[in-house]
Amino acid sequence: MSGSNPARPRQPKRVPAALRTACLVGLIVVLDVSIRTQSPVDAGAQWRSYAGTNRSTRYSSLDQINKDTVSKLAIAWRQSATPVELRKGRGEPSKLPNYQNTPIVVDGVMYISTGYGLVTALDPATGKVVWFDDPPKREGQREVRASPIRGVAYWTDTRDARVFTIMSNWLVALNAKSGKRYSDFGADGQVDLRVYDDHITGSYTWQSPPVVVRDVVVVGSGSLRTGKRFEPGDIRGYDARTGKLRWSFHTPPRGGEFGSDTWHNGSWEGSGFTNAWAPFSADDELGYVYLPLKQPSGYAYGGAHPGENLFGNSLVCLDATTGKRVWHFQTIRHDIWDYDLPAAPVLLDITVNGRAVKAVAQISKLGFVYVFDRVTGQPVWPIEERAVPKGNVPGEWYPATQPFPTRPPAYDQQGVTIDHLIDFTPELRKEAIAILNQYTYGPLFTPPSVADRKPGGKKGTVVMPGIISASIFGAGADPETGMLYVPSNHAPSVVEMVKPQDPTLDQPWDAKRGNNHFGDKLEGPQGLPLFKPPYGRLTAIDLDSGDIVWSVPNGDGPRDHPAIKHLNLPPLGQPGRASPLVTKSLLFMGEGGREGVALLPRFGGGKVFRAYDKATGKVVWEMELPGGTTGAPMTYMANGKQYLVVAVGWEDLPGELVALALP
């Protein structure tokens, strides 16, 4: 970590515990809550950005739907990911069973990215189309269509209001009222994102939404490859009014830039990725944007880029006006496990040992939450350097240590031991041990290994947490309590290093490829999971103390499997891409979709949507939706009624938005 900002944090949102004397307890507690709910972390009646606000808390203080009324929730409206009004001339719509969009709602209008990649305005009370972007097309061309993105961004300077989206390789600005493009934004109303400050790529893609900080639109990039070269993951800021490029933050850093010496032998020049495929967060008051970055190219083999490899696997804070680095922290050096930072960090004001902290909390695939002062980048609790195992893949570079947060504790299994294996019955336990013994395994950061093809040789390395263990859509937080809510999957991956079959890969080793970039599904006895449950869980972490308050399974999991059905087990947890929505009294979360989600176990995903008591984790309500939740849920008020909206899809259900409300 480096860099700092001398600015002093604001006054605490909560009264420090040391000041809560007995005679003032009642008064102070009331004041404490009222101050917290006025924080800009609260989305309130609107939902102005992908995760509610730029702080990515997924929190709204709305309470019309509460413990007493939630049982009356019903479907109010449904809208296809490809509304019929958009279909003319655009060909057969894609089914999009993994439609990941989360709408925003501002000033009585809902904005979505459709299955055609076009921004569309909906009536939030009915789901009906109000307007849609109709991109200009050349003579003889069919109507424009692209892939949908997870969300869009909104910006206003009181005189003008704009909606920003990424459509294929274009950054587009639309008038929020009419949907019309701005002819003076970029070239003919759009900015070509293939054009960087120092190079041009053949293609560009990014599924996450832009974030607007003050008057700068900040965008990242997907993992792109041109021939043998993986493109770098530069972050860029554009002027919200003109579309002019304001700044670029190079990642990997170019020669001579800060961090380039962590790429030994000048390997930054031939490396790519280190991009931000997940959404960003921002502190509008500070003018800072927070970037969760991915690992360098290569996934499981990093011998082509020896060194610690900044800014791979780093949380980076930039000044959004200038693009200058304020601070950073690298969560993993030289990642060979695909442990990228998968979700937007959460910005929350907390009180630690009586001290007010403007915090940022970053969840991870590792099962750690990294918590920092978001002004200075200093860890809220110590992060220790600990020795980690070294591997034996020829040509690989291995760091001696990795950073381990001391608080909060890990929220899911880390590493593999015999004690982690299922023990529903002695017979299943014995089978599980036999399966595990076919592989290399060990503590967290056990490296991938070369398979031994001799009889009795090890097939590869069991990586735990696996590559789908994290919450892709992020965590939620409650500003009234300082609580962080983290969903996670409990599933391993197997990484087996082999000689590459792809002749375009300019490296001596590659990972055995399953149905994702690497990894095979690792099943336990009779198709059950190999490890103990829960297989999908929701964990509540008190960020004031750094303690886990409760952890509960999300869904039934394989409890009806023939080998264990007779045991009448409690819920075992349903693995899936789930995301929480936090309100005044409840927490809502689905089980996740199944189609198009790589490496989920055969029982993964589910159609049930639940409300939890956010203080205890107890399920207070549930209903089956038409499909599994494929996007993150959100909430808002329209015509005096509170709505919940979430994207759903299934094998037999094309992607759509479903709105729930009280009668």
Helix (H) / strand (E) element for 454: namely none
Looking at residues 550-557, what average pLDDT do you find?
97
User: Strands 461-463 and 493-498, how do they pair?
Assistant: antiparallel
459 against 478, higher pLDDT: 478
Tokens of 619: 């399920």
Residues 6+ positions from 463 with CB-CB distance below 8 Å? 337, 446, 448, 492, 493, 494, 495, 519
DSSP code for 29: H
Q: pLDDT tens digit string along 225-240? A: 666 667 889 999 999 9
Residue 477 has pLDDT above 60, yes or no: yes
pLDDT of residue 512: 66
Looking at residues 271-280, what average pLDDT do you find?
92
pLDDT of residue 503: 62
662 against 13, higher pLDDT: 662
Q: pLDDT tens digit string along 30-79? A: 333 333 333 367 999 999 999 999 999 999 999 999 999 999 999 999 99
DSSP code for 431: H
Q: pLDDT tens digit string along 564-622? A: 999 999 999 999 999 999 999 999 999 999 887 777 888 899 999 999 999 999 999 99
pLDDT of residue 228: 62
Give one DSSP letter per residue of 256-317, joined into a string. Answer: TSTTGGGSGGGGGGG--B----SPPEEETTTTEEEEEPPPBTTTT--TTS-S--TTTTEEEE
pTM: 0.92
Q: pLDDT tens digit string along 336-357? A: 999 999 999 999 999 999 999 9
Cα distance between residue 452 and residue 434, in whole Å: 17
Q: pLDDT tens digit string along 484-501? A: 999 999 989 899 888 877
Per-residue pLDDT band at 302 (split at 50, 70, 90)? very high
pLDDT of residue 504: 62
**Per mean pLDDT, which range of 92-101, 406-415, 465-474, 503-512 is the poorest?**
503-512
User: Strands 288-292 and 314-319, how do they pair?
Assistant: antiparallel
Residue 479 has pLDDT above 50, yes or no: yes
pLDDT of residue 376: 98
Cα distance between residue 277 and residue 247, in whole Å: 19
Phi, psi at 37, each rounded to 5°: -70, -10
Cα distance between residue 588 and residue 556, in whole Å: 17
568 against 8, higher pLDDT: 568
Residue 3 has pLDDT above 50, yes or no: no
pLDDT of residue 299: 81
Partners of 539 in the β-ladder: 486, 551
Looking at residues 429-434, what average pLDDT do you find?
97
Per-residue pLDDT band at 272 (split at 50, 70, 90)? confident
Cα distance between residue 302 and residue 336, in whole Å: 6
Cα distance between residue 551 and residue 487, in whole Å: 9
Give the three-class secondary structure for 327: strand
Phi, psi at 361, each rounded to 5°: -120, 125
Residue 392 has pLDDT above 70, yes or no: yes
Looking at residues 297-323, what average pLDDT do you find?
94
Cα distance between residue 71 and residue 117, in whole Å: 35
| Under 8 Å between Cβ of 496 and 521 | no
Per-residue pLDDT band at 89 (split at 50, 70, 90)? confident
Burial of 139 (0-12, 13-18, 19+ CB in 10 A): exposed
| Under 8 Å between Cβ of 42 and 148 | no
